Structure 1
């Protein structure tokens, strides 16, 4: 080293610091790159992404290579800095070189390149892989030897270094990703994606049309009365039953009703109505919507009756009802009640039918009544009150004032819901 000039040593030291910064930035960039974006780019034919993805398949080898290179460079830089320091400051040069080199490496070879790499991981990782890939082949024996020792040490403490962790997301993590997508995903699409994630939490009981609201006809009624109801029916599907709804026969479709009512050769009779009825598809109560959507698709069905463990009919669910949970309300409904169950008043309160579904009500008027028990507003009021209420009376549920307006046949028909009063800000 005595034959090498000090200026040359400064140049070598400068180059070594640059190389150290490259290794530091490469480590952060390779480890910070978005794996999902990386896979997408690789599948799109990006060669750099494929190269980085291949190297990340064995992170132990990649980290081993980078650390070997970084430590070799830093040790060499330390040795050269010591020589320069001793030439310039004699015996005090070691302390000066140690202090100065620590600051230089910390600023220019650690913090700065790692910060840049963390902010722009793809810009750093992709070009870095061009150099790291051949270096991996050149230093493979050394990397393999180091990994052999470290991997065995890790196994002693119960860690399998070759078991690469799978980059999978839970539903809640995916929900966070969708929320943080911001302008990358339109807000309407975000709502749809979040609704799909909620399908597992929601069951058919939450969206079904209650049995009392199913458009239905008793086949044992007078034939003229039945035909009159069919001619005035506004629903696409009508349920036929005998005496009580639990003895259901099948569904009459609007096309079948029109064909029966417009026949020229003969008047429709009850037998023809029964023959025209389509088979019923039954759905067990408590079925998650995600499961039911697949069942509708597999069985080529669009409508079904929800039954309990005793086979009693609890309500009706259509494919449209299920899809509305994802995309929002359609302009038309099939077989159920029209969306006129909530009317906003001038004073800010809402007139609500007692049969309204709580989840629909919460969405429509932006409130948060509990939905983990009864599914309708009537059921919630009876459960909270502990009895069938009488009008007029008022009660408070989840902070919302509820005024009973009408009760008929042991059922709350209509109520007035008042929003929570706004809290005054403390001055």
Structure 2
């Protein structure tokens, strides 16, 4: 009879152990972010690629863990019930079940989840192999369960794609504030993050230099006068307007007229590039970078000259004022 008790106790202990592993692994994998995993893969850490796979197939991973956890959590009380009923009697079953519930809560849930949350990489690497091979072995069964779950979730109007889970701007900024308080990031880094969110909602008209604050050269201006003007003010490029009008017909680059004193501005100007007031600043920035355009002319809704915008103006919205030798 003694060996039967030992077998029962060993089986119950194993169930508790596996319950802890399943619960802890779920918490650890959920806590790991893409940056953590990318570093692990790049460093060639053990089981890093398995962890990456599990994270990329999180719906399959979670279902696998839940299946395993439920099996051992059902098996443990069943074994306790049978053992106590055979050894003591029916009257002790309720007491034993209550004790087991407490033990499962402490050793199968609270303790492993708390430990894995603080040691997510270590716990994930230790258990990734087990979950990985379980998910592959149970794949048809897991897919069937997930399909049933997705149908029910869709009927309730919920989302079923883990990749579609959204993080709000306020949540990111709250995290940034916490990181700043802990000294993990600096205040300037937090401010740049704030500017990034602001930047994404802006139009060209919010960042441009107004026409009234812009210098422009007459197309018929002699190069000698243009050179003197550029030297005096330190410009690297200026818009060129049609004689006796406000229509921008070109851009004059200072480096291209160095040493040239004969001729007119219109003979040395380049073709201008245009953006509209209502263009998204992010799209304008991408376009200017892609085409290596440092300065663009801004047009209003009527297609008329309304200001200029430079890469420097755009970058200053993200990092603050950029001073050069002419500022």
Residues 253/47 of structure 1: CA separation in 2 closer, same or farther (3 Å cut)? same
The aligned counterpart of 2:69 is 70
Give CA deviations for 1:140-181 in whole Å, capped at 9, x if unaligned. 3xx6346535633643664699x6432676683666665555
The aligned counterpart of 1:330 is 322
Q: Return the offset for 1:97.
A: 0.8
Matches within 5 A, 1:75-224: 75-86=74-85, 89-136=88-135, 140=138, 144-145=140-141, 147-148=143-144, 151-152=147-148, 154-155=150-151, 158=154, 164-166=161-163, 172=169, 181-182=179-180, 183-218=183-218
Q: Return the offset for 1:80.
A: 3.5
Give CA deviations for 1:220-269 in whole Å, capped at 9, x if unaligned. 789998787566444333444355551345344334554234xxxxxx4x
Q: Return the offset for 1:65.
A: 3.7
Cα RMSD between the aligned structures?
Answer: 3.8
Any gaps of 5 or more consecutive residues in structure 1? 262-267, 339-427
- Provide the rounded CA distance (Å) in 1 between the counterparts of 2:62 and 2:243: 76
Residues 116/259 of structure 1: CA separation in 2 closer, same or farther (3 Å cut)? same
The aligned counterpart of 1:15 is 14
2:297 to 301, 305, 313: 305
Q: Return the offset for 1:51.
A: 0.8
The aligned counterpart of 2:284 is 292
Report the TM-score when normalising by structure 2. Answer: 0.78
Larger Rg: 1
- Provide the rounded CA distance (Å) in 2 between the counterparts of 1:235 and 1:123: 57
The answer to which structure, 1 or 2, has the higher relative contact order (CA under 8 A, 6+ apart) is 2
- Provide the rounded CA distance (Å) in 1 between the counterparts of 2:69 and 2:230: 83
- Provide the rounded CA distance (Å) in 1 between the counterparts of 2:77 and 2:230: 94
- Provide the rounded CA distance (Å) in 2 between the counterparts of 1:18 and 1:158: 35
Give CA deviations for 1:277-305 in whole Å, capped at 9, x if unaligned. 33332222222221222222233322222
SS at match of 2:322: coil
Q: How many residues align?
A: 322
Indicate the structure with greater helix content: 2
- Provide the rounded CA distance (Å) in 2 between the counterparts of 1:20 and 1:154: 26
Indicate the structure with greater strand content: 1
Any gaps of 5 or more consecutive residues in structure 2? none
SS at match of 2:307: strand
Conserved in 1, the CA contact under 8 Å of 2:24 and 2:112?
A: yes
Residues 45/217 of structure 1: CA separation in 2 closer, same or farther (3 Å cut)? same
